[in-house]
Amino acid sequence: MDLTLEDLCRQLRLGGVYSYVQEYSPDNDDLQEFLMSALQAELDKRRMNRQMRSLRLAGFPTKKRFEDLILDDLPQDGREAIPALKELDFLKERRNIILIGNSGTGKTHMAIAVGIRACEENYRVAFRTAAGLINEMVEARNENRLSVYIKQFRKIDLLIIDELGYVTFDLTAAELLFQLLATRYETMSTIITSNLSFSDWVKVFHDRTLTAAILDRITHHALILNMNGKSFRRR
């Protein structure tokens, strides 16, 4: 739907401009057409700058989009989930997404593609590897700023935790991760990629009770995708 001059001025917070035009040149169609073109260009520029800033702050290791995926190479669950993931309905529903499968089947690519789409729709996104996230949290705890660190993730609409399972954690690290996930429970969405089935996550956290608690938080109302298949890298 095309925006009116009033709509554009409202979105750009230029109410004074609209009032001035209505008072002094309400019938000047050429002026209004010129202003609408200029204001639309400014609105588009601001949107682009906001998207670029969101992409930069998200911390993606590379830019991978849905258009770059070869759908026929994805496992069935991945192929079938693409249309729904593009719509980002899971963000509105505050659901999590968990991609489980062996290395090289498109888990990280899909997670980044979802994250980029979310940035383009003005959602706040953060991408971290599991090891990187834990290291940041341990550092924050050691510097007595853990509460501040965790608080910043309450403002993130979508947290992507990549490669959970490649590195094991001690009990303290696992407790820190649980604390972060608990603060986001049912209020914000998280995407996790892992090469391990849920039954093997205890090998990462080394504590069955804590592993069960983490799984309970992230799998509740989650979309779980089986991404086991042939590795792209071995073809």
- Residues 155, 192 within the same domain: yes
How confident is the model at residue 106, as a pLDDT?
A: 95
Q: Strand pairing partners for 129?
A: 162
For residue 61, being part of any structural domain is answered with no
Is residue 78 a part of any domain in this protein?
yes
DSSP-derived pairing of the beta strands 189-194 and 158-164: parallel
Same domain, 123 and 12: no
Two tokens, residue 139: 């550092």
165 and 136 part of one domain: yes
Indicate the number of domains in the chain.
2
Is residue 112 domain-shared with residue 21, that is, in the same domain?
no
71 shares its domain with 173:
yes
- Whether residue 180 is found in the same domain as residue 206: yes
* 147 and 213 both lie in a single domain: yes
Q: Which domain holds residue 12?
A: 5-56
Q: What are the tokens at 94?
A: 């505050």
Q: Are residues 39 and 75 located together in one domain of the fold?
A: no
For the domain that residue 116 is a member of, what is the CATH number? Answer: 3.40.50.300
pLDDT at 8: 87
Residues 200 and 227 in one domain: yes
Q: Quick check: 43 and 107 in contact, CB under 8 A?
A: no
Question: Residue 235: what pLDDT?
Answer: 56
| Structural domain includes residue 223 | yes
Strands 223-226 and 125-129, bridge-based pairing:
unpaired
Residue 209 lies in a domain: yes
Three-class secondary structure assignment of the chain: CCCCHHHHHHHCCCHHHHHHHHHHCCCCHHHHHHHHHHHHHHHHHHHHHHHHHHHHHHCCCCCCCHHHCCHHHCCHHHHHHHHHHHHCHHHHCCCCEEEECCCCCCHHHHHHHHHHHHHHCCCCEEEEEHHHHHHHHHHHHHCCCHHHHHHHHCCCCEEEEEEECCCCCCHHHHHHHHHHHHHHCCCCEEEEEECCCHHHCHHHHCCHHHHHHHHHHHHCCCEEEECCCCCHHHC
Looking at the structure, tell me whether residues 138 and 168 fall in a common domain: yes
Q: State how far the Cα of 166 lies from the Cα of 171, in Å rounded to an integer.
A: 16
Q: What is the pLDDT of residue 2?
A: 80
Report yes or no: 74 and 81 within 8 Å, Cβ to Cβ. no
What pLDDT was estimated at residue 99? 98
* 39 plus 100 within the same structural domain: no
- 91 falls within a domain: yes
* Joined tokens for residue 108: 């990280």
Domain end among 13, 36, 56 = 56
pLDDT (0 to 100) of residue 22 = 87
For the chain (length 235 residues), average pLDDT per consecutive 10? 84 87 84 88 84 90 93 94 96 97 95 97 96 96 96 96 93 94 94 97 93 94 94 68
Q: Are residues 24 and 104 in the same domain?
A: no
